[in-house]
Structure 1
Amino acid sequence: MRAMIAAGLVALAAPAWAEAPRARLVATPTWLAAQIGKPDLVVLQVGDRAAYAAGHIPGARLVMLSDLAAPMGGEALTLELPDAEALRTRLTALGVSDRSQIVVVPTKEAGIQSATRVIFTLDAAGLGGRTRLLEGGTRAWTAEGRALSAETPAITPGKLSPIRFRPLVVDADFVRRHARAPGYRIVDSRAPEFYSGARPGGPPARPHKPGRVAGAVSVPFSSVTTPDLKLAPAEEIAARFKAAGVKPGDTVIAYCHVGQQATATLFAARALGLDVKLYDGSFEEWSRLNGAVETGEAR
């Protein structure tokens, strides 16, 4: 019976997402190989120094999440967008210019959610139309017989216009006002045990409240991506969002623990052509604000 329901959801979902822009958001190793050497190409490998040093796509620059986030310390929230000028400075240091074609490479060490966090940041900065995810990361690259490099490339600083953030980040008040508003869906991207409240998130010293934002539906990031660092098949993504009550034309407002996993769910939503927004403070902030929560399995 469950298989029949899933098949029915796929059949109903497929026509609605027929014009999905997935092809413009992802890159294959074959496509990337044809771009290597072009002056406007910027390849960003997301991860740590050890993995980068062990081998990266030729010409790739290393980027860590802290490079593109606001400073931590005190009561600061984890992994917030930096201010526009700080982000511009960091991107130009990576060689990003107004004409750059950017490919973001996920790694097993950092997970696809780290790469999609970088992609979301670039999208918020107005560069999303020229940014792609290399599906499968370095493993997919080498699986096609292509070599990795241990050489750190020399980077010519980019020339990037002042950044004017697109309105893709929302705050707790926006989430409260749109929790059950027509045309919007608040989406929890965490694992089901956090959504239900069976397990609280956050560090041991400061755990989050158990449960979810009141009114949120569940689309775990792991349900719309694969362990081999790719988006799930389009029909599976469409069925997953449809099962959560998301309709074509809805705006998806996603959150997670700190605003990282949610970007993978939002990337999948973009692949369906949906409008997206990120509650960047996510459950870390919601818990601190004592926001309304619900517990129990999804209805």
Structure 2
Amino acid sequence: MGDFLVTCLQAATPIWLAALAGMYAQRAGVVHLGLEGLLVSGAFAATATAVGTGSIVLALAAAVAVNLVLSALFWVLTTYFKANVMIVGLGLSLTAAGATGYALVVVFGSEAAIRSPIGLPRPFDGLSGPLAPLGDLSIVTFAAVVLSWFAWWSIRRTRAGLRLSACGSDPFAAKSAGVPVERYRLAALLIGGFLCALAGAELSLAQVQSFSDGISQGRGYLAFAAVLLGGVAPVGVSVASLFFGLAAALGIQSQVDFNDALPPQFVLMAPYVVTIVAISVTALANRRRGRQQTVIMERTL
């Protein structure tokens, strides 16, 4: 049971951190479809730097630096050039997927996966007994828990968090109150870049300790779905991400239990099927709630 829970957390961590990034952006009024691109870019930068330097600190720093630059570029394109937010986000994701695959060939001379000589620290490595499975969790997984609490506290309990939410819910009113909306959106995107860098590092330096073309397997899009499913709230987004991690872990476990009896394609598609079902149920529930509110208003009037 402990091994299964650890597998759930490992599968959920990259989605969890990327979903928190999307939540910050959407709170500021930015629909962030570039989460997939930031996750892939962070994973490649972390692995390439780890291979070149052998330093985990420099690897994380490189991932963060690359994603901060990409996030700032995202903000410039949507703010000063008035580019469509959704198109820029999709462009970022598609470009990052192609660029990292091309960089594998240019930098390392091969399309095969590159293996990192180092991995992320595991704080509880070496434990025995019932707590032994915790030794497989990297420091980023524990950081995700702390960052989730910080996201809840910063949004619900600070003035900056309330202003950030105002930028998304009513930017004109926020501007009238003297809130620099564009600066808050830039801050939200930069925070998202940092979180996606950690998500990418977790994916490439903790779980498989290597980078290959297509390593993210759509986890950035699952993160965006978790933002919608979680109601753009820290607790809801965290629960939705853990739910997707549970779906992925169940797919892996079913492959182990049924061995060759279950085609691997079913395992790979399980999280995405769960995503479609969950979003469909949420959409129907929201539609029904809207109808009920309309009926109540009509009766009141």
**TM-score after normalising by structure 2:** 0.25
**TM-score after normalising by structure 1:** 0.26
Please tell me whether Structure 1 or Structure 2 has the larger radius of gyration of its CA atoms: 2
Tell me: higher relative CO, structure 1 or 2? Use CA pairs within 8 A at least 6 residues apart. 2
Quick check: which one's strand share is greater? Answer: 1
